[in-house]
Structures are given as structure tokens and as C-alpha cells.
Structure 1
Amino acid sequence: MLTVLVDYDSGNLHSAEKAFQRMALETNAGKILVTSRPEDVARADRIVLPGDGAFPACRKALGSYGGLFEAISESVTTRARPFLGICVGMQMMATWGREYEDTKGFDWIPGEVVKITPSDPSLKVPHMGWNDLVLDHPDAAARHPILNGIETGDHAYFVHSYHFKVANPAHRLAHCDYGGDITALIGRDTMLGMQFHPEKSQALGLRLIANFLTWTP
């Protein structure tokens, strides 16, 4: 079993690599590889796409690696390999990003990424720090397997100024409140995305990583 963390010079992958390696060892989930090689992505059993920074810059950086996005897309949309987008890696799954300029996303989960506008003017942007998750499907039987062992009120660590507004509420698995709903976790088919950083979210994040590594869609 091989899980690839895609490296396209959009953030420090060291902490994410360590967290995924730890949970892969604990769950006997195989090898973790950080790579920017399309051929590695093509042979991966699971794909993780992190991302830090602005949506347009991350989208451009990913496209600058010849064949890398194409390998990701073919693996996920054609061969149904489990995929996890983290932070901007999640946001790029949208139809459009509206940060600085209109930028086309992957259009895997319909919606758009827009600036956070809290109803309470005392709440600062970026949304930074710990916040409580609220599960959008309170019935345990209806929850996605990624949420096994996760409950409303568990804490996740966020750092972002823009958020994903899904077109279909069924694709939103969890949110948090920051002067209004902020999408925290999305999912469709074999695709998942987390706005928060699981590698920085302590016990919650490690549990989610373990769930992803052992998930069989």
C-alpha cells in the first residue's frame, strides 16, 4: 500500500509527512512517499494534496509540474483512488476560487471558494487557531467512515481567510462556526477535503489520518 503526499512547492510538508508516517505505522497502512513525480502518483493507492497560500498561486504551481495534475486527476476521477485535499488542497477541489482573481478549480465538488465574512466584526480574518467541529450528519449510521470516532465538539486547527461554499449540502460532512458557518470537511465518492490541518490538530487529526489510511471506499 502506497500513500503519496504531493509536493509542488506549496507549503512545508515536514509535519504532515511525520503525522502520516506515524499513523501508517500504527495502522499497518504501508508506505508514505512525498513526491512531485507523476509516475509516483500514478502508482499510488492513496493521494494527499496539501496546500498553503493563495488559491491562484497554488493552482498555478500545481499546473507548472508537467503531467502532475493530470496524473492526480486520472487516478482520482478514473481509477477512483482515495484522495484527501488539505487546506488549499481542499479548496482547489471546488469549481471556482475567488481569491484575488477568478481561478478555475478541479470542479470535483461543485462550489466556490470565497472570503470569510464573519457576522461579528470583532472576529478577525484570517480564521486562525482552534475551533469546534460540528458534524453535518448527526446520525452515526449516515456519517462518512472518515468520521469514525469523531464527535461534534472535537477541536481542529484552522489557518485560512477563504472558505469553501458547497453547492450541494450533501457534500459537506462537517463545519465550524466563525460568525457564520465555515465548511470544515467535504466528501464525495472517493474524494475528501479538510479545511483545517489534521497534522496540527493533535488527537483529532491523527484519528482522521488513520481513518483515511484505512478507509476502503
Structure 2
Amino acid sequence: MIAIIDYGAGNLRSVRNALTHLGADVTTASTPDQIEGADKIVLPGVGAFGAGMAALRAAGFEAPLHEAVAAGVPLIGICLGMQYLFESSDEMGIHKGLGLLPGRVTRFPVDGPKVPHIGWNQLHARQETPLLAGVQDGSYAYFVHSYYVEADDPADVLATTDYGIEYASVVGRGSLFGIQPHPEKSQTTGLRILKNFVEMAS
């Protein structure tokens, strides 16, 4: 059973539809007790980092997510959900993240390409990982974001994307993963990544 966390700031319907299309048993968790016993967890997110983290904390998910990751439950953060995994973001002030991975979230340089980064761009594999099994290097995924992750540990960077700078677009450590583009909007590539997550041993 895969639990999708509903804290009022995530694009749940399209993610749920994609997972259901892949044959996954999916439930929506709006309270922390509803992720107890889940085989896997999906943390979606759209909008601003600070407001999203405030909503996630207010719903009581912070400690249970730490406990689930420590117990080895596979978890994937999508888009803003990936950014939550890190220590902080400077989007509209300094905001504390979940701190599950070392690093921070910051805005694309003002002298670079147009922000937000919207549209199709490539994933360049940097580490072997079951999450990207069968995904060819250079495959395209769909992005919508103005801020990106600066990961402190290169070993956590599973794939990068170039948008004026090279930045981490897929991250992971153990059973914890994050993906900056929207896999549910990324057609064949995105469905393959979600399928890999669904089929991952838990």
C-alpha cells in the first residue's frame, strides 16, 4: 500500500491517477496515523516552500516522516516535496525543511535563463539507482519550478539537469528519494520512474 500525504499543498489527484494506472494500491493520508503500516510513502508538493512546510508541520507529519525514513520505508518527494527533504530554503525568507538530506534550496540565478523553469528538460544520470532503472540518460521530464536544490553530498545526487547551471534533479539516499520534475506529467519517462518506485522492495 502506497500512502500519498495530503497536507493541503500537493497535487494529489494527478499523482494518484498515475500510480493507480500502474496498478498500485494507493491511499490518501491526511493524518499521521494513516501512514502507519504503509509500504511506501509519496510526498507531493506545489507552491511556496515556507507555506508548504508550515502546513506539513501543522498536520503533524514531520516526526512520523523522520520515523518512517529511519525505519527504511521507501519515500519519494515530488517537486516541492523533494525540496522539503533538505535542510532549508531561502524562498521568501529562510525556512527550515525536514533535514533528511544535507543541503539547501535556493533560487535560480537572476542572470540565467527565464525563471520559472517551465517545460521539458533532460535528466543526466550521475549514480546507478533502482529509481532510474530503464530510464535512458538524457531522457526528458517536465519541470515547473523557480528554486533548485544545492545538495551538500554529491553521493545523494542521482541525476542532474542543466538550466543555466547544472543542478540536482533526482536525489536519493537509501530508501529515500526525491525528484524535481513532475513524473506524473512526464509521460513514458515519468511513468517508468513511478513504476520503479512502486516495484521497489519495501
Task: Give the TM-score range, shorter chain.
Answer: over 0.9
Contact kept in structure 1, 2:11 and 2:44, CA below 8 Å: no
Report the AA paired with residue 88 of structure 2: W
Measured after TM superposition, the shift of residue 35 of structure 1 is 1.9
Out of 167, 179, 182, the residue aligned to residue 164 of structure 2 is 179
The worse-fitting range, judged by mean Cα deviation, of 196-205 and 98-107 is 98-107
Report the AA paired with residue 94 of structure 1: F
Q: Deviations over 1:35-56 (max 9, x none)?
A: 2121111121100000001110
Q: In the alignment, is residue 105 of structure 1 matched against residue 97 of structure 2?
A: yes
Contact kept in structure 1, 2:5 and 2:43, CA below 8 Å: yes
Contact kept in structure 2, 1:118 and 1:180, CA below 8 Å: no
| Structure 1 residues without counterparts, runs of 5 or longer | 138-142
Measured after TM superposition, the shift of residue 145 of structure 1 is 0.7
Q: CA RMSD in A?
A: 1.3
Q: In the alignment, is residue 89 of structure 1 matched against residue 93 of structure 2?
A: no
Q: Deviations over 1:144-180 (max 9, x none)?
A: 1111101111110000000000001110000111111
Out of 130, 133, 151, the residue aligned to residue 123 of structure 2 is 133
Sort the Cα spacing of 1:118 and 1:133 in 2 relative to 1 into closer, same or farther, 3 A.
farther
- 1:5 and 1:149 map into 2 onto residues whose CA distance is 24
Q: What residue is the counterpart of 1:17 in the other structure?
A: 16
- 1:34 and 1:103 map into 2 onto residues whose CA distance is 26
Contact kept in structure 2, 1:42 and 1:72, CA below 8 Å: no
The residue matched to 1:107 in structure 2 has which SS? Answer: coil
Q: In the alignment, is residue 69 of structure 1 matched against residue 62 of structure 2?
A: yes
| Structure 2 residues without counterparts, runs of 5 or longer | none
Q: What residue is the counterpart of 1:212 in the other structure?
A: 197
1:40-59 to 2 correspondence within 5 Å?
A: 40-59=34-53
**Aligned positions, number:** 202
TM-score, normalised via structure 1 length: 0.89
- 2:118 and 2:31 map into 1 onto residues whose CA distance is 32
The residue matched to 1:58 in structure 2 has which SS? Answer: helix
- 1:48 and 1:213 map into 2 onto residues whose CA distance is 10
- 1:12 and 1:149 map into 2 onto residues whose CA distance is 26
Out of 109, 114, 119, the residue aligned to residue 117 of structure 1 is 109
- 2:64 and 2:98 map into 1 onto residues whose CA distance is 13
Identity %: 40
Q: Which runs of 4+ in 1 moved over 6 A?
A: none
Measured after TM superposition, the shift of residue 87 of structure 1 is 0.8
Structure with greater Cα Rg: 1
Measured after TM superposition, the shift of residue 108 of structure 1 is 1.0
